[in-house]
Amino acid sequence: MKQCEYKQAVSNINRPNRIALAVSQSADEEKTNIITLGWFMRTSISPPMFAISVGVSRFSYELLSDNRKFVLAFPSQKMVEKTIQCGTQSGSDVDKIKEFNIKTQNGKLSSIPLLSNAVANFECKNVSQIRSGDHTIFIGEVKYSWINQDPDIKLLLSVEDNEKYEVLHKSKNHTFGLIK
Ligand SMILES: Cc1cc2nc3c(=O)[nH]c(=O)nc-3n(C[C@H](O)[C@H](O)[C@H](O)COP(=O)(O)O)c2cc1C
Residue 65 CB–ligand 1 contact under 6 Å: no
| 105 pLDDT tier (thresholds 50, 70, 90) | very high
pTM for the whole structure? 0.97
Residue nearest to atom 18 of ligand 1 (CA): 87
How do residues 114-140 score in pLDDT, each as one tens digit?
999 999 999 999 999 999 999 999 999
User: What CA–CA distance (Å, rounded) separates 59 from 151?
Assistant: 34
| 17 pLDDT tier (thresholds 50, 70, 90) | very high
Ligand 1 pocket, mutate which of 36, 66, 157 (most atoms under 8 A from CB)? 36
Radius of gyration of the chain (CA): 16
The domain ranges of the chain are 6-179
Backbone angles phi, psi at 81, to 5 degrees: -65, -40
How do residues 26-48 score in pLDDT, each as one tens digit?
999 999 999 999 999 999 999 99
Give the mean model confidence (pLDDT) for residues 140-161. 97
Prior bond to 16 cis, omega within 30?
Answer: yes
> What's the chain's average pLDDT?
97
* CA-closest candidate to residue 144, choices 66, 41, 71: 71
Q: Which CATH class is domain 6-179?
A: mainly beta
| 85 pLDDT tier (thresholds 50, 70, 90) | very high
* CA-closest candidate to residue 119, choices 101, 95, 145, 143: 145
* CA-closest candidate to residue 64, choices 116, 156, 131, 133: 131
